């Protein structure tokens, strides 16, 4: 396929999984000879990361919430499409999905969109028009969102494709020296088992559930600590909850970190306890754990069971049970061979199914069929 002119849009003010997806996809599309521009807010981390990696980036005045400025953004995006002969507009959040779709009206540019959250994508007549008439294809991170938009939003199945998120395993390869560095920073002894969790501190990420489960683990294991990495609206609440449970000397709140390769290298077990109702779908944070050869204890939310195959590379808990989570964590803590076995299987699964190369190639095929 000859090089395409691609506009990747993302209106979010945070830097989460969807923004990481846009950043990494833009880099890999550029490597494959495509002319890529990322359209986003110039105040966010996505903008700066694209600049650092030599990706063309265009500021659009996306609002922090709501629909403010939608008409102006549609006009601005349409103007950019015309001036830069854009072939594909690839949107990623609800706001830019609407803006990008309506900007494509009457132009040769085709609109495709990624669905990164397990949530309905249709709430009003504008969304209906956008989804039925102005979107060429829907790229679904997993089967759960594909099934949802087909059943609830009546999107034709033929217009949807599952493309799992992917990463470069080598970029997150475990490094002993980085492990020593992080453990020294946080005072974690060599003989201590460190359970890790990374993600925004919001309700659906389930860190409170993990802390509840860890209470039982800490009661029976002296050589175990939990590190929660990230920031968000619930940070102070979670810190206070750990104090109430008298776990403040066993739980480390590491804050937001960009050195995730080093942080994951310090972990011995990874746990991801997202809860239903918040839109969790296919988190990159679990892929990082697989790349590091870590065993995973996860809930069955979204497509997590696709990434964590029960009793193959970890344990999947079928409900939000602190008792079940603590039991599986304890089983891994007590069995070094099982940790290694699960970790090896997880890295193999990642390398086969969830690489950035496989993700990019699948998206390229969708682009090709859309032009």
Residue 364, token pair as written in the block: 């390229």
pLDDT at 2: 74
pLDDT at 15: 94
Topology agreement, domain 5-166+355-370 and domain 169-353:
yes
pLDDT at 147: 98
pLDDT at 277: 86
201 three-state secondary structure:
coil
pLDDT at 371: 86
Which DSSP string do the residues of 114-126 spell out, in sequence order?
EE-SSS-S--SHH
Count of Cβ atoms closer than 10 Å to residue 17 Cβ: 21
pLDDT at 123: 96
Strands laid side by side in the 314-317 sheet: 251-255, 224-229, 193-198, 269-272, 296-299, 314-317
Place of tokens 């990164």: 116
Q: What is the pLDDT along the chain (371 residues), one digit of tens a residue?
A: 479 999 999 999 999 999 999 999 999 999 999 999 999 999 999 999 999 999 999 999 999 888 999 999 999 999 999 999 999 999 999 999 999 999 999 999 999 999 999 999 999 999 999 999 999 999 999 999 999 999 999 999 999 999 999 999 999 999 999 999 999 999 999 999 999 999 999 999 999 999 999 999 999 999 999 999 999 999 999 999 999 999 999 999 999 999 999 999 999 999 999 999 889 999 999 999 999 999 999 999 999 999 999 999 999 999 999 999 999 999 999 999 999 999 999 999 999 999 999 999 999 999 999 98
For domain 5-166+355-370, which architecture applies?
3-Layer(aba) Sandwich (3.40)
The helices-and-strands tally (H runs, E runs) of the chain is 15, 13
Of 182, 193, 338, 212, give the one whose Cα is nearest residue 273. 212
pLDDT at 81: 98
pTM for this model (two decimals): 0.95
Count of Cβ atoms closer than 10 Å to residue 181 Cβ: 15
CA distances from 302 to 2, 12, 123, 318 (A): 36, 21, 21, 11
Domain boundaries, the chain: 5-166+355-370, 169-353
CA distances from 61 to 42, 66, 75, 90 (A): 8, 13, 12, 18
> Strand 193-198 and strand 269-272: pairing?
parallel
For domain 169-353, which architecture applies?
3-Layer(aba) Sandwich (3.40)
pLDDT at 310: 98
* Structure letter (DSSP) for residue 86: -
* Structure letter (DSSP) for residue 155: -
């Amino acid at each position: 396929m000859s090089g395409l002119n691609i506009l990747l849009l993302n209106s979010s003010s945070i830097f989460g999984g969807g923004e990481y997806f846009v950043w990494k996809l833009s880099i890999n599309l550029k490597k494959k000879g495509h002319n890529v521009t990322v359209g986003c807010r110039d105040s966010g981390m996505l903008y700066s990361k694209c600049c650092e990696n030599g990706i063309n980036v265009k500021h659009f005045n996306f609002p922090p919430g709501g629909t403010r400025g939608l008409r102006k953004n549609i006009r601005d995006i349409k103007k950019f499409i015309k001036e830069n002969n854009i072939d594909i507009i690839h949107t990623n959040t609800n706001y830019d999905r609407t803006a990008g779709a309506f900007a494509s009206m009457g132009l040769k540019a085709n609109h495709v969109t990624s669905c990164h959250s397990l949530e309905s994508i249709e709430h009003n007549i504008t969304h209906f028009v956008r989804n039925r008439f102005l979107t060429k294809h829907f790229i679904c991170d997993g089967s759960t969102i594909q099934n949802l938009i087909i059943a609830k939003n009546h999107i034709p199945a033929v217009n949807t494709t599952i493309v799992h998120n992917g990463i470069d395993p080598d970029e997150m390869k475990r490094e002993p020296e980085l492990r020593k560095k992080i453990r020294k920073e946080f005072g974690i002894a060599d003989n201590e088992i460190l359970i890790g969790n990374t993600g925004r501190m919001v309700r659906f990420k389930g860190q409170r559930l993990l802390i509840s489960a860890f209470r039982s683990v800490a009661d029976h294991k002296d050589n175990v600590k939990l590190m929660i990495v990230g920031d968000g609206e619930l940070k102070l609440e979670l810190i206070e909850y750990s104090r109430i449970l008298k776990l403040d000397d066993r739980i480390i709140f590491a804050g937001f970190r960009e050195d995730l390769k080093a942080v994951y290298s310090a972990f011995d077990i990874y746990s991801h306890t997202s809860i239903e109702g918040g839109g969790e779908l296919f988190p990159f944070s679990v892929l990082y754990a697989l790349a590091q050869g870590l065993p995973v204890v996860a809930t069955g939310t979204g497509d997590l069971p696709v990434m964590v195959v029960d009793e193959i590379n970890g344990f999947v808990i079928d409900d939000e049970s602190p008792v079940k989570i603590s039991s599986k964590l304890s089983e891994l803590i007590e069995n070094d061979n099982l940790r290694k076995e699960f970790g090896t299987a997880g890295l193999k699964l990642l390398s086969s199914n969830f690489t950035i190369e496989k993700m990019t190639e699948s998206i390229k095929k969708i682009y090709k069929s859309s032009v």
